Structure 1
Amino acid sequence: MALVAVRLLLVAVLSAGAIVLVVGPAAADGSAVPQLRRDGRWMVDQFGRVVLVHGLNLVWKHKPYVPPPTAQGFTDKDAEWLYDHGFNGARLGTLWTGVTPDRPGVEDPSYLDRWQPVVNALAERRIWMQFDFHQDMWHEKYGGEGAPDWATHRPEPFARSAIASAPFPMGYWMPELSTVYDNFWANKNGVLDQFARAWAITANRYKDQPYSMGYDLMNEPWAGIEGMTCLIDGCPDTYRNELQPAFEKALRAVRTVDPNNIVWFEPQQFAGGQRLDTFFTPVDGEQNLGFSWHNYCPDVFAESQGLPAGNMQGCRSFSTDRNQHALDQGRRMNATTLMSEWGATDNTTAIGIDADVADRHLMGWMHWAYKKWGDPTTADGDQGLFVDDSDLQSTKKDKLRRLVRTYPQATAGIPKRLRFDTNTGDFTYTYEPGNADAPTEIFVSPLHYKHGPAITVDGGTVTNGLTDNRIQITASGNKPVTVTIKDHS
């Protein structure tokens, strides 16, 4: 078994902030569009490498539902910042109300046109994108966002009086809003049909988009009137009679224009913050499903509401349970898995726990959120990675140190074990080599190696120098490859 020790110091120009964009190897057939597909529990790229996503949510919840091209919003400098810090994923809040704002089934093409500079900037930096019909509490009139005006029909008898609303997330529990969701699941007024048509429009736009990782059909769907009972048994009937049929309708609409990209199902809203089962089942003939799940420890939520919190270390058990459950649900529905929301806090202990547990389960993630952006529907105002959204130098340093991690972005084989210590920078990763048409690529954190990274590879070789905080590994044979990185002391 070959043992190659390579000691590399961070290049001075990189620490000075110079940007040298690494261009990935050409596709094996010279034509494959870089998009992710499901292969068992994994997502794989156009070379057959297993991709592990460490990304951030980009959701602008105010009109016009797309971040402005300003320092406060999103520009090329933001995309460079994401790339430089190793974030290779973004969940983009392409809202239903933006796609078909005025009439059912009638697209406003200018909306996705306004998103395109963001999409292009991310794709140019090899950042995978999940397109998300984000919604919270349905519509602004209920204190939320997501659905168009024309899709918001006030039900009887509630329409006879003023709307009874409550702040997020308690607004979900108002009888009128719960009825709105039940009417949607029942396709009253054809609103569910039009939701599916809006997804066909969106998928048609992005079907050939480089660095797409597919479509997240609905953020945190609310079960409706029976929602509170989901806290007891997880609402299996809601999945059987409402969520699964609705999502399959939207899936079929997507497949009329896009047969290939991953389509992601999300569980009912409480599943993100309680130890509850979820009940999605396979879809006949469908090979590219995803389970998009959220992870919000109840102790962190209690802290955000000013309530007495329990032992934050209890979040480790909670996060472990949720990761294991997600993998199990993925197996049961024949889907890949992604922790597409977590965090929404400045509590660095909680962030460190969730990121460590995700590593141990080889789980990809999208942290909430990149910038705060005046989020009107959040349980915790302490979010975003910056003190000032318009100043990329105003990072929350302790928080960033938990999120910027040494990790394998693409693996030419099957991942087996991943560990990273945010205190010391110690990193160990083992994988079994496979038949991918490109080398393994590992991002090396620029925040954790004061004296530069010392890199040891057992079972393979480093085939390039440290470039843009990334190294490439090629296996020496068929035996497992183990990569170890420590501070060069």
Structure 2
Amino acid sequence: MHRIWKLVLLVVALLVAAPALPASADPPQLRREGRWLVDPQGRVVIVHGLNLVYKHAPYAPPATAAGFQARDARWLARHGFNGARVGTLWAGLTPDAPGRADPAYLAKVQRVLDLLARRHIWVQLDMHQDQWHETYGGEGVPDWAVHRPAPYDALPPVTAPFPTGYWTPEVSTVFDNFWAGADGLLGAWADAWQVAARAWRGQPYLMGYDLLNEPWMGTEWALCLATGCPDSYRAELQPAMEQGLAAVREVDPDNIVWWEPQQFAGGQPLDTFFEPVAGEDQLGFSWHSYCPDVFLESQGIPGGNVENCWDFARGRQEHALEQSRTMRAVPLMSEWGATDNVRAIEIDAAAADEALMGWTHWAYKRWNDPTTADTAQGLFRDDADPSSVKRAKLRVLVRTYAQATAGTPLLMSFDAGDGSFRYRYRPDPAVTAPTRIFVSPLHYPDGYRVRVDGGRVVSRSPHQVLVAAASEKVVTVRVAREPIGDGARSIR
């Protein structure tokens, strides 16, 4: 009896000591304000994240060293990655019938989301697909959503390496039928998003729902490659995205719903043609950037020049901002990289800084990706071994940058060679939380110096600087390497 009373008293003490949020407290989530992502404190958040998309059944990474564990979430946070694009595949959400959720799959994804939330990592839920289904050498939709069209069903399906498998007549016809609502599949896709939104509308550190990865417009693909196919947006893609939006809004009125343009817009300088939705102010434009010269390199085709990627990257940034203004959305570069070409990654990251653009790089781990242009997609040579990280690649991805700004960002630059960082923002006096600068753990081996003009350092640690403005005038923050031997705190 004495032991029982001791246990009761221990439980009571733990309950009293444990910090508790009020029952009415909203979970921390990101919202759109103009072109920016904004946190609950009113600060502009710039996301630097990675893609976590597991493309094999059961479509969620296992809790293994090669999969995703608590140590992976710690690794991401330690290296300054404050965002993740997490695969939530249709094939996993409703594998048995339209609209019928799979609780086991939801639990597998929830495990990953909880690990990320504990490290304050913002999450975009991504309904990923490549080439529709395993039947065609891809993944994404449930088995019951595969309806092979005539006359192709008279013969075994033709498969081709990614991404050329899209160009086959059968796969293109499959997508034509999807956009037309054949076999009820468009409605079933929207129902799957209701399952996801119902499960995760209250998820802490959510930044919304990416409705469909790299939409393929079907048999008019050659026109899409040449002109961007504006008619396909008006007749197919925009109505489908609005249908998915409406399905989400039935259960979640608040979180951001992200739309992606037709697939070729990620690898060619093409216009996109989304329009705004009346009464909707929480749209996102989830866009991809894959420089053609680097794609040629990945295919073993000579003649590419990575320096051409400067013009391509800057042009895609400018276009994303323009499209976002048109559709009244917030932009996010949700896929880019997918290469071990460090110079290409450096160019894309610098162009994103110039445009003050958030991003999620492809990809954290390779996870035996079945639809990849090459084998150089992950950050590790061995997914199970963190020490196998590709250090040169990591050094250009891990950056000193403004994670949360109490005002409007104006300029940001970082030199991955010498670690020099410069940031300017216009303070918002209504925001009382400090501006948070993440300081790279890779670029200041002997410590760093920070200088603030127009404000002051509130707090400083090896990997973070908190800044408060002195007035409503523009604040400038500079970070640089500390000269050897001057007594600066070392970075560990």
After TM superposition, the score normalised by the length of structure 1 is: 0.93
Give the structure, 1 or 2, with the largest relative contact order (CA under 8 Å, sep 6 or more).
Answer: 1
How far, CA to CA, are the matches of 1:37 and 1:82 in structure 2? 22
Shift of 1:256: 0.4
Aligned to 1:88: 82
How far, CA to CA, are the matches of 1:366 and 1:284 in structure 2? 29
Structure 1 residue aligned with 2:249, among 255, 266, 276? 255
Q: Match for 2:311: what amino acid?
A: S
Structure 1 residue aligned with 2:445, among 437, 450, 461? 450
Residues 208-250 of structure 1, C-alpha deviation per residue, up to 9 Å, x if partnerless? 1110000000000000000121111100011101110001001
Aligned to 2:333: 339
Given the alignment of the two structures, is residue 49 of structure 1 paired with residue 43 of structure 2, yes or no?
Answer: yes
Given the alignment of the two structures, is residue 72 of structure 1 paired with residue 66 of structure 2, yes or no?
Answer: yes
How far, CA to CA, are the matches of 1:29 and 1:46 in structure 2? 17
Structure 1 residue aligned with 2:170, among 165, 176, 184? 176
How far, CA to CA, are the matches of 1:29 and 1:325 in structure 2? 43
Residues 244-267 of structure 1, C-alpha deviation per residue, up to 9 Å, x if partnerless? 000100100000000000000000
| Superposition map of 1:235-246 within 5 A | 235-246=229-240
After TM superposition, the score normalised by the length of structure 2 is: 0.93
| Superposition map of 1:76-475 within 5 A | 76-434=70-428, 435-466=430-461, 469-475=463-469
How far, CA to CA, are the matches of 1:149 and 1:340 in structure 2? 27
Residues 350-373 of structure 1, C-alpha deviation per residue, up to 9 Å, x if partnerless? 000000000000000000000011
How far, CA to CA, are the matches of 2:298 and 2:403 in structure 1? 32
On the 8 A contact 1:291/1:330 being kept in 2, the answer is yes
Q: Match for 1:278: what amino acid?
A: T
Gaps (5+ residues) in structure 2?
A: 1-19, 484-492
Q: Percent identity between the aligned chains?
A: 60
How far, CA to CA, are the matches of 2:306 and 2:458 in structure 1? 42
Higher mean displacement: 375-384 or 410-419 = 375-384
Q: Match for 1:444: what amino acid?
A: V
Higher mean displacement: 291-300 or 308-317 = 308-317
How far, CA to CA, are the matches of 1:403 and 1:118 in structure 2? 22
How far, CA to CA, are the matches of 1:95 and 1:209 in structure 2? 17
On the 8 A contact 1:27/1:46 being kept in 2, the answer is no
On the 8 A contact 1:432/1:481 being kept in 2, the answer is yes
On the 8 A contact 1:304/1:379 being kept in 2, the answer is yes
Aligned to 1:7: none
Shift of 1:29: 12
Aligned to 2:4: none
Gaps (5+ residues) in structure 1?
A: 1-25
Q: Match for 2:336: what amino acid?
A: W
Shift of 1:346: 0.2
How far, CA to CA, are the matches of 1:100 and 1:30 in structure 2? 31
Q: Match for 1:237: what amino acid?
A: D
How far, CA to CA, are the matches of 1:110 and 1:460 in structure 2? 50
Measured on the aligned residues, the alpha-carbon RMSD in Å equals 1.3
How far, CA to CA, are the matches of 2:273 and 2:21 in structure 1? 38
Q: Match for 2:334: what amino acid?
A: S
Shift of 1:32: 3.4
Shift of 1:122: 0.5
Q: Match for 1:355: what amino acid?
A: A
Find the structure with the greater CA-based Rg: 2
On the 8 A contact 1:28/1:47 being kept in 2, the answer is no
Q: How many residues align?
A: 463
Residues 385-438 of structure 1, C-alpha deviation per residue, up to 9 Å, x if partnerless? 111110111110000000000000000000000010000000000000012231
How far, CA to CA, are the matches of 1:166 and 1:145 in structure 2? 13
How far, CA to CA, are the matches of 2:23 and 2:472 in structure 1? 24
